[in-house]
Amino acid sequence: MKSITIQKIESLNHNVRRIVTEKPDEYTFKPGQATLVAVDQEEMREEKRPFTFTSLPEEAHLEFTIKIYPDHEGVTAAIDRLQEGDNLLIEDPWGAITFQGPGTFIAGGAGLTPFLAILRNQAKKPDSGVNRLFFSNHTEKDLFLRKELEEVTDGNLLLTFTKEEVPGAEHGRIDLEFLKKHGEDSGQTFYVCGPPEMVEDVSRNLKKMRVTSEKIVTEES
C-alpha cells in the first residue's frame, strides 16, 4: 500500500467529509474508479475500505468524499478523527463505475460519490453525455454539493427526499412511479449507485420499463 498525506479536510454537511491528499508519482485512475483505503495507524492498517476517487486523473492531488458513520466505530469514524498532516494508505485503483455513454445518473446518499469524478469530467466536454441526475437523500441536511451538482449537470438535477418535504424537490423514493414520471428514453444508459436495496429496486423497476440489463450500470455490473 502507498502512504499519502492529508492536505485538507472539509465538511460538506453534518456527516460527509472532503479529504484532499497528496498524489503518488505516476498514480493513475479513470473517473469512477475506487481504491482500498486504510488509516496509517498501527491498529488500523489492516482495516481497508473501498472509496471512490472524486478528483480527476489529471489533477495533482487525490480527493475522496466520504460519508462518516460514527456509530460503527470503523474506518470512517477513524478518518473523521484525522487531521491535516496525518496519513492514509491506498492500494492500486480498480473498476467500480465508469462512463459508458450518455445517460441518466441515479444516486442515493453516499452513492453519489462514484459519480462525482464522472460528472466533473463530462462537464468539461462540449457534449457532456449527462442527461439528468436523480439524487435521493433522507432529509435536506443530508444533501451535499448541491450548487456544484447543478453546474456539472447543466441544471438537470432532480432532488428527492424520503423523510421530509422540501420546496422545489420531490418527496419519496425513486420507485417505479417516480421513474415513469421523470424517465426519458428507455434506450439510454442508466447509472445507479446507493444502498444495495435501492440499487436492486431501481434496477428491477428500470427493467419493468424495458431497459435492458446492458443499459443499467452498477458497481457490480
Please write the tens of the pLDDT for every residue from 122-131. Answer: 999 998 899 9
Residue among 88, 91, 66 at smallest CA distance from 5: 88
What's the rounded Cα separation, in Å, for the pair 63 and 22?
Answer: 9
Residue among 196, 194, 9 at smallest CA distance from 88: 9
Q: What pLDDT does 95 receive?
A: 85
Instruction: Find the helix or strand (DSSP H, E) in which 52 lies.
Output: strand 49-52
What's the rounded Cα separation, in Å, for the pair 217 and 190?
Answer: 6
Q: What pLDDT does 39 receive?
A: 97
Pairing of strands 189-193, 216-217: parallel
Q: What pLDDT does 184 receive?
A: 67
What's the rounded Cα separation, in Å, for the pair 145 and 133?
Answer: 13
What's the rounded Cα separation, in Å, for the pair 196 and 102?
Answer: 24
- The answer to whether 127 and 104 are in contact (CB under 8 A) is no
C-alpha grid cell, residue 46: 489492516
Sign of CA dihedral 179, 182, 185, 190: negative
Residue among 108, 112, 22, 97 at smallest CA distance from 66: 112
Q: What pLDDT does 70 receive?
A: 79
Q: What pLDDT does 104 receive?
A: 96
- CA–CA–CA angle 115, 116, 118 (5° rounding): 65
pTM of the predicted protein model: 0.94
- Amino acid at site 216: I
Low-confidence spans in the chain with pLDDT less than 50: none
For the sheet containing 189-193, what is the strand order?
170-171, 157-161, 130-137, 103-108, 189-193, 216-217
Q: Give 124: exposed, middle or buried? Use CB within 10 Å, 0-12, 13-18, 19+.
A: exposed
Q: What pLDDT does 221 receive?
A: 61
Q: How many residues does the chain have?
A: 221
